[in-house]
Amino acid sequence: MLGFFIKAGVFYISWQIIYDLFLLPNGQLDHFLSVSVAILAKNLLSFLGWNINCAGRLLVIEGYRGVEVLNGCNALTLMALYSGFIIAFKGPLKQRIQYLSVGLLTIYLLNILRIMAFSLATVYFQQHWDTFHEFSPFIFFYPFVLYLWYQWTLVNEKKATPFMSGLFSA
Amino acid sequence: MKNRYYMITVIALTILSFVMAQDPPDLPGAPNQGPIGGMVWLAIGGVVLAVKKYHSQKTDK
């Protein structure tokens, strides 16, 4: 157990240093995640028939307030938190890589859905937007992340449930 | 004379463009911004999960 905390601690400290010293000043990773999420959310909403415009990180359904995807909204920190647990908790390397790639990709896709939901919230319940925003990670991200973490601890015990074992054995 | 009318027209149009120029229309409101909050609860959940797993593995042995 001590090993888990040491590995997790080293990972998060290293991540914070790398982020503060390199990724944040460089800005490209944050920019890519924010803008691509905004563009994909805009395209999906356009496909569903909404009259929506996108300018960089800003999404606006015509006639309603916009939604801006800031650095804190692009799920990069959540991706780091998710990865830290998978890396720190012992398990086989091959499956660790699978859990990391599937998890990170799914967090990215969930964030697109979340931003779409934020845009629609400006239309349907702007007055409750802040509340929706506050609880949105608990709806979109945290159950999924906790589920994958739990599955990862089961992989370590060789008791993966059919969903994940089926997913990765295919 | 012709040049004079031409100059007056150009100057009048230039001044008019300054007078009539307007700011672009505002957005319907300041954009909403959606950072991900409450991550500390997820981190606590992860720690509880890990401790529980290690504890159960230890008692199984």
Q: For A132-162, what is each residue's pLDDT tens digit? A: 888 899 999 999 999 999 999 988 776 555 5
- Name the residue in chain A with its Cα closest to that of B31: A66
- Here the ipTM equals 0.76
For B36, counting Cβ atoms within 10 Å of its Cβ (0-12 exposed, 13-18 middle, 19+ buried), the class is buried
pLDDT at B26: 55
> What does the pLDDT average to over A85-107?
93
Q: Are the beta carbons of A66 and B38 separated by less than 8 Å?
A: no
Q: For B11-31, what is each residue's pLDDT tens digit? A: 888 877 766 666 655 555 666
Q: For the whole prediction, is pTM greater than 0.80?
A: no
Domain ranges, residue A75 = 2-169
Q: Provide the number of structural domains found in chain A.
A: 1
B57 touches chain A (CB under 8 A): yes
